[in-house]
Each structure stands twice: as structure tokens, then as C-alpha cells.
């Protein structure tokens, strides 16, 4: 019974993290797509909201991916703790685990690029802008170039989140 309770808790947190991993890039994508309607010219107040939202979501994305990985490792270890061996899986289950892990590690790499590379530079660039003042053309160009790169990486994250969600359904495929 204790094994099932632990498994249930791990699975609950795992599912919440799965939803978060898919929801964050989905909603970020919608925000960026809506913002794109105004073109690659700075609209200070609008861009401030977009930046604060996107940069505020980055730590959540990292947290969801970390929880996803930790609980994903915790579930087979829970079984091992109580039974002394790992569960026997069908080839379909092992393939699903491989795809899921590859997608999670790829998402972690993308979030690292965004969190430690793009977002800090975007913060610095945006700090140089002011409401009602025309931005420096080079800084504005770099700002929107970095944003475009972040958008492309987030699009990839969204696709990887779908891979994680779909592969999760096949992990318990019975032999």
C-alpha cells in the first residue's frame, strides 16, 4: 500500500509537470503571435508586458522540466525499492521512455539557452529603451532578432512537450 501511495504522489506531480511543460510554451506562443501583429518596432508598454511575462515564465518552465525528470526517475526507483528489480517493459514502453527522455533533455538544453543566454541579453537591451523615446536602431534590431530566436526555440519546446505527452501514454504498454 505504501508503494502505491508513493507511486500515486509521484504520478500526480509528474502529470502536473507534464501539463506545465506543454502549457507554458503553448501560451507563450500565443502571446508572441499576438505581439507579432504590431511588427518589429518597439511599442514600449506592450513589449514590457511581453518581456515580463515571458521572462517570468522561464523559471516555471525550468521547474516543470526538473519535476518531470525527478518524478520520472522516481517512479521506477519506487518500484525497485519495494521489489528489488525494475518493472519488465515491452519494447514499446522502452521506446517511449527513450523518446520521452530525449525530449526532456532537449527541452532542458533549450531552456538553458533561453534562461542563461537570450533572456539576460534581452533584459539588458530592454533596459536601454524608454517609454516615449525612439529606440536606438541597432539595439532594436538586436532585440527583435533575439526575440525571434527565443520564439523559434519555444516552438521547438512546444513540439517536444507534445512528444513527452504522447510518449507518456505508451510507457505502461504491457508485454
- pLDDT of 35-48, one tens digit each? 999 998 999 999 99
Is the whole model's pTM more than 0.75, yes or no? yes
What confidence score (pLDDT) does residue 23 get? 86
When divided into structural domains, the chain yields a total of 1
Q: Is residue 71 part of a domain?
A: yes
Q: Is residue 69 part of a domain?
A: yes
With contact defined as beta carbons under 8 Å apart, do 68 and 18 qualify?
Answer: yes
Report DSSP state, residue 117: I
Q: Is residue 174 part of a domain?
A: no
What is the reported pLDDT for 123?
A: 96
Residue 58: CA count within 13 A, CB half-sphere: 21
- Note whether residue 32 is domain-resident: yes
pLDDT for 124 equals 97
- Residue 144 covered by a domain: yes
| Domain residue limits at 88 | 2-168
pLDDT at 131: 94
Residues of the chain with pLDDT under 50: none
Distance CA(51)–CA(68), nearest Å, equals 26
pLDDT for 175 equals 64
Amino acid at each position: 500500500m505504501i508503494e502505491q501511495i508513493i507511486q500515486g504522489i509521484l504520478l500526480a506531480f509528474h502529470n502536473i509537470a507534464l501539463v506545465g511543460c506543454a502549457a507554458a510554451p503553448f501560451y507563450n506562443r500565443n502571446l508572441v503571435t499576438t505581439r507579432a501583429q504590431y511588427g518589429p518596432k518597439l511599442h514600449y508598454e506592450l513589449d514590457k508586458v511581453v518581456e515580463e511575462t515571458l521572462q517570468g515564465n522561464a523559471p516555471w518552465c525550468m521547474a516543470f522540466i526538473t519535476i518531470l525528470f525527478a518524478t520520472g526517475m522516481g517512479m521506477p526507483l519506487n518500484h525497485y525499492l519495494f521489489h528489488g528489480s525494475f518493472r519488465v517493459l515491452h519494447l514499446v514502453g522502452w521506446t517511449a521512455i527513450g523518446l520521452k527522455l530525449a525530449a526532456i533533455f532537449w527541452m532542458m538544453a533549450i531552456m538553458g539557452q533561453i534562461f542563461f543566454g537570450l533572456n539576460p541579453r534581452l533584459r539588458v537591451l530592454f533596459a536601454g529603451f524608454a517609454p516615449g523615446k525612439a529606440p536606438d536602431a541597432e539595439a532594436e534590431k538586436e532585440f527583435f532578432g533575439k526575440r525571434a530566436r527565443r520564439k523559434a526555440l519555444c516552438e521547438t519546446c512546444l513540439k517536444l512537450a507534445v512528444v513527452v505527452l504522447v510518449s507518456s501514454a505508451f510507457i505502461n504498454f504491457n508485454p
